[in-house]
Structure 1
Amino acid sequence: MPPLEPVDDRLQQAMKWVLLALLPGVFVAFWFYGWGVLINLILTALSALAAEAAVLQLRRRPLMPTLSDGSALVSATLLALALPAYCPWWLPISAAASAMLFGKHLYGGVGNNPFNPAMLGFALVMVTFPQPMTHWPSPHGVDLLSGLQQVFGFGKLPDAWAQATALDSLRINKSLTMDELFASNPAFGHFGGRGAEWLNLAFLAGGALLLHRRVISWHAPLGMLASLFIISLLCWNGSGSDSHGSPVFHLLTGATLLGAFFIITEPVSGAKSPGARLLFGAGVGVLTYLIRTWGGYPDGLAFAVLLMNLCVPALERFILARQNRTVP
């Protein structure tokens, strides 16, 4: 058996802070969607750790240094928050296992992944199982027993327990103005999606903590949020029936702030230099809006992140070339 490898203390401390910063989002998601969030979290965490342990055993590598660094738990938590609450049990298991196998260990483990593992797992189940991935519950309480029955398939919740999300409703809207949508559609809250606007504010609070502790830098979040705000402002035509939503709507709906502070700041698959991080974030913001508005998926964050992961080497070379040209 090979000797134990030392745990990267910086990585372990960073993952602990990320998990701590995600707690407000977990609490708010539980408040609105109930036990399904915690069921997702348990299933993704157990699946991610089990998949990682299995791969390490096959590679004849020690378990504890890798399992204890916290990176698998961070990916599992991100997936639990991104997946619909009360989705079938095999969906979070498939997403978490795919994230570990195809997003992380296929490339040699932590520190080598060119793609964000959580977003790769999410994108794979979104493409493979599109119907259950769009089956979001209404923001109301469901008791634990009913939630378990729904997740494990031995019972059914009432017919009205699920609804289309605000992004879905806006994308298929053909006749109602924005004011009418907000007034009549229960998926809409005050400024964004009902529940999602508070959830995004919770992720903003967690992101502020990470910035304060210097776990992440401000470049990628600023690039993403600024570009999403600008493009949605330029394409916004007010409250008409063909409106694509205001800038505030796009900032407070879907997984916008989760993506800005917890996903695009992933240090391995993201850009490294400050300038490249700004461009990386800006690309994610623009692509997210384009996919939301004209693509086939209501929230294109995962696909936007994966596409920009492919562009990271080119962004780094571009910034380096500009720096070299400016050196006298």
Structure 2
Amino acid sequence: MSAVLLACLPGLLVLLAMQGLGVALQLGLCVATHLFCEAAVRRLAGQPRCPAERALLGWPPLAEGSGLVSALLLAVALPAQGPWWLAVSASAMASLGGKALFGGFGRNPLNPAMLGYAFVLASFPAAMNQWPAPAAAHDAWPAVQRVLGLAPDIDGWSQATVLDRVRHNDRLTLDELFAGDPAFGHVAGRLGEAVNLAFLLGGLYLLWRRVIPWQTPAALLGSLFLASLLGWNGAGSDSHGSPLFHLFAGATMLGAFFIVTEPVSGPRSVRARWLFGAGVGLLTYLIRVAGHHPDGLAFAVLLMNLALPGLERLASRGAPADA
């Protein structure tokens, strides 16, 4: 868990640099909620505290560190200046509904962070689409006011993500979108490019350390690239975006290296890793271009979590015992 947290650091620093203090506030809210929920569940269940020798950083409240990882993944996925109750609701669902309901750490069939994210996305869609424009992202005190609910509700400072803009574009070519909108960068959104590159760097570190298997990220990125290549019809106004656009937009690299590789809810066998990753990549693309939400990675992961027992059985047919 400490290696995963270290690998998340480049992406977190990029988000802090580009979206300001709100990211740190979301992280603090998510971590505090996770720690409170896990401590409350242990107390209600009569379970002892995690021994210091097994705890992350030797601090028993952090337990094995999985809650801290889930909190960080949620914090970087939530709107930087979303209201405080959004982060608390997402983290509580991830901790209580994602892990405690199934018996705690090591027993969750669904990815806890994605369950919390999908819960607030389906329950509070308006709040989940309040992304600050670049000019408002670094106003520290207004950001604190908005997160803590001390400022009046306003809409003028929010903007759609580039995935949402491409999905609802019906009159401009992609070249015109990229040339005329400062939110777009070289191949995707300016923020998305930087964040995805940072999480790619962290993911390569995890692969180098052999903390995560390489098959699942490779299958996800490969299937997303292939699906977007087959569905790409150039730079016209009805284009869904190039393969590079889909690889470096949204939460692609975060999902490939930090979410689908979650050891408890992810696949065990090598064949199942290929099937699982490919399914997540394909579903992500289909939801992006034909679904209701601009970035469907969370729902893709949860759907493949539900399909995983069948995938494991399918992968085990005729396979060596490895695998």
TM interval, shorter chain, is over 0.9
Equivalent residue, structure 2, for 1:271: 267
For 1:20 and 1:206, the matched residues in 2 are separated by 8
Residue 21 in 1 paired to residue 7 in 2? yes
CA contact (8 A) 1:35 1:147 kept: yes
Shift of 1:275: 1.1
For 1:21 and 1:262, the matched residues in 2 are separated by 9
For 1:193 and 1:115, the matched residues in 2 are separated by 29
Shift of 1:157: 8.8
Equivalent residue, structure 1, for 2:287: 291
Amino acid at match of 1:144: A
TM-score, normalised to structure 1's length?
0.92
Equivalent residue, structure 1, for 2:59: none
Equivalent residue, structure 1, for 2:18: 32
Match of 2:31 among 31, 36, 45: 45
Equivalent residue, structure 2, for 1:168: 164
For 1:25 and 1:156, the matched residues in 2 are separated by 30
Equivalent residue, structure 2, for 1:114: 109
Q: Structure 1: any 5+ residue segments left out of the alignment?
A: 1-14
Shift of 1:143: 2.8
Shift of 1:133: 0.5
For 2:309 and 2:233, the matched residues in 1 are separated by 36
For 1:252 and 1:172, the matched residues in 2 are separated by 19
Q: Structure 2: any 5+ residue segments left out of the alignment?
A: 56-61
Shift of 1:322: 3.2
Match of 1:311 among 302, 307, 314: 307
For 1:56 and 1:139, the matched residues in 2 are separated by 42
* Structure-to-structure mapping, 1:33-112, within 5 angstroms: 33-65=19-51, 67-112=62-107
For 1:254 and 1:322, the matched residues in 2 are separated by 37
SS of alignment partner, residue 186 of structure 1? coil
For 1:250 and 1:210, the matched residues in 2 are separated by 22
Greater Cα offset, 54-63 or 260-269: 54-63
Residue 195 in 1 paired to residue 207 in 2? no
Greater Cα offset, 298-307 or 189-198: 189-198
Equivalent residue, structure 2, for 1:10: none
Shift of 1:159: 5.6
SS of alignment partner, residue 323 of structure 1? coil
Equivalent residue, structure 2, for 1:12: none
Shift of 1:156: 5.0
For 2:93 and 2:284, the matched residues in 1 are separated by 22
Shift of 1:160: 4.3
For 1:181 and 1:157, the matched residues in 2 are separated by 29
Residue 130 in 1 paired to residue 92 in 2? no
For 1:253 and 1:139, the matched residues in 2 are separated by 17
For 2:217 and 2:281, the matched residues in 1 are separated by 9
Equivalent residue, structure 1, for 2:58: none
Amino acid at match of 2:298: A
For 1:134 and 1:115, the matched residues in 2 are separated by 24
What are the Cα deviations for residues 164-220 of structure 1, in whole angstroms up to 9, with x where unaligned? Answer: 100111111111110011112233111111211100000000001100111001000
For 2:198 and 2:304, the matched residues in 1 are separated by 25
Amino acid at match of 2:98: G
For 2:178 and 2:156, the matched residues in 1 are separated by 19
Shift of 1:155: 2.0
Match of 1:211 among 201, 207, 211: 207
Amino acid at match of 2:20: G
For 1:237 and 1:98, the matched residues in 2 are separated by 40
For 1:269 and 1:116, the matched residues in 2 are separated by 6
Aligned residues: 311
Equivalent residue, structure 1, for 2:224: 228
For 1:322 and 1:239, the matched residues in 2 are separated by 45
Shift of 1:317: 0.8
For 2:11 and 2:120, the matched residues in 1 are separated by 22
For 2:176 and 2:154, the matched residues in 1 are separated by 27
